[in-house]
Structures are given as C-alpha cells and as structure tokens.
Amino acid sequence: MGSMESIMSTSQQSLPELSFEFFPPQGDDGVERLLNGAVAKLSAFHPSYCSVTYGAGGSTRSGTQALVERLLEAGINAVPHLSVGGSSDAELDQLTDHYQHIGVRQILCLRGDQLSGSGQRPVYAKGLVERLRSRYQDHFELSVAAYPEIHPDAASADADIEHFVAKVNAGASSAITQYFYNCDAYAFFLDRCAAAGLSVPVTVGIMPIANIESLQRFSAKVGADIPRWLEKAMLGHAEDAKSLTAFGIDVVTKLCEKLLQMGVPGLHFYTLNRWGATRQICRNLGYREI
C-alpha cells in the first residue's frame, strides 16, 4: 500500500463506525431504485451495517424482510428493526426464526409506536429483548433505542433512564439514539447511564436536514428538539432548496464533528432513502468511499 493510501486508511480507521438506515420502499421498482441509488452510493463507505425500519404495528413486515434479504444477498450486513406492538408471538417467532436462518446477526428491538385507539395493553421493548435472548441465546446481537432528550411517553427523565437501563440489562449490548441537534443532551444522557453503572456503546442517530416542514412535523411527533436558532436559520433558507441543503449539510457536519470530539462509538444516519446530504456529510468528516 502506498504511503498516501496508508495515511488515509489510518485516519479513516480512527473514525467511529458508520451505519445507514433505510425504510422498505413500495413495490419492486422502489426496491431496485433504492438498491441502485442510496444503498449503492452509501455502502461505498463500508458501513458496519445498514438497518431496515419496521412500520408501526408490523405494517411493513414483508417489506422489511424482503429488503433485509436483498441487502444480505448484496453482501451488506443487514440489521432489521423489529417492534413488538401489533404482532402476535407466533408472527414474531416466525420472522425471527427466518432471520436466524438467513444469517441476520443483529436486531434493533423496539416497542414501536402504539396504534392509537388500538386498546392494546402496554408493551415495551424490554419484553422483546427478553424474548429474543431466551429463544436464541447469544445468536443475535440485540440493540435498543435511546432518547437523550427523553422519550415523549416517559413519566419523568428518571423513569425514562430507569426503563432504558432495564431494557439494556435484559440483554442488549448497544443502543442507537433518537436524533438531536444539541450535544449537551447526549452528554447528559451518558452521565446518567454511567451513574446507573451502564457502559454499553450508544451510537448517535443523525438526521440530515432536507425539508423544513417534514422535519418540524416529525420532530414534534417523536419529541426531538429543534433549537430556536436552528429553526429560525432554516426558515431563512425556506425559499431556496439548494441553499437549505447546503446550510443543512454545514450544520449537521459541525454537529458530527462535535460528537466525534466527544468520542462517540458510531454515527447512524437516518437516510430517509436519500443519499446526497448523508454522503457529503460523511465526506466532510473524512470518511472515504472505497
């Protein structure tokens, strides 16, 4: 290996792991477009894995499974999201048996969003972690979700961290956060984990900025804070999609740089099946396509 290549490879090695999240598109054409587009572009960064979301109440069960299969066939480490709400135990077992059979090694265990008016009894991600640990022992690495800005349903910040600790102790070995634009929230969350004696790696979820209205709507729904300065500044670019994209790439690159300085174990990009902004941010941070 030439000296330039070895310097690049050494500097890239010191960067934390990358992962990319996709949702199952509608129809065969949508899957092909995703694989030839965002997946092809971003897998060039050699992420640790690509994860596939699972629609609320199991609404994308077959789509999630199909995309996971296609990613594995393409030689990409695919990590399915799995949510406990809305599926029977038998359906969950059938799906996870299949995942074991096709070589899935890691699952992101979630409660999922409760379907309103469903009358469901409360379920929690911890139950899913326990179920998978007991059925498959150590076959799967289990990850869970973390909320540095506190999950919106939590009775209190303390209750939220207690429940997080309980679900990790049930058998998870890593976590991925909800996105945030304020690093103090993450530092506070890690402090509270440390105080509770928890030391699992907490990868940070990163949401690139693409569309102001959908970001506002989604953030309000999931309890993610858009700081006032950021919202005002984004609105200043509302009439010009190109300048909003450039501004968003700049802001999110700086956020990631701060997180790298804090020593995060990984960056997990919510790609929304797009690649332009995510690719540019990764390049800005020094990740290289190979």
21 an active-site residue?
yes
Among 17, 21, 32, 130, the active-site one is 21
Spatial distance between the Cα atoms of 74 and 46, rounded to a whole number of angstroms? 13
Beta bridge partners of 142: 107
Spatial distance between the Cα atoms of 77 and 6, rounded to a whole number of angstroms? 25
Considering only residues 19, 65, 83, 278, which one is a binding residue for ligand FAD as defined by CB under 6 A? 83
81 binds ligand FAD (CB under 6 A): yes
Write the interaction track for ligand FAD spanning residues 144-163; mark x where CB under 6 A is met and - where it is not: -x-----x-xx----xx--x
DSSP state of 38: I
69 binds ligand FAD (CB under 6 A): no
Phi, psi of 177 (to 5 degrees): -85, 160
Closer residue to ligand FAD in complex, CB, 244/267: 267
In the bound complex, what is the minimum distance in angstroms from residue 162's beta carbon to ligand FAD? 8
Spatial distance between the Cα atoms of 76 and 282, rounded to a whole number of angstroms? 18
Interaction residues for ligand FAD, span 181-220 (CB under 6 A): 205
Q: Which tokens belong to 23?
A: 């949702």
Closer residue to ligand FAD in complex, CB, 148/248: 148
Spatial distance between the Cα atoms of 87 and 58, rounded to a whole number of angstroms? 6
Beta bridge partners of 81: 108
Binding site for ligand FAD (CB under 6 A): 53-54, 56, 81, 83, 110-113, 124-126, 145, 151, 153-154, 159-160, 163, 167, 176, 178, 205
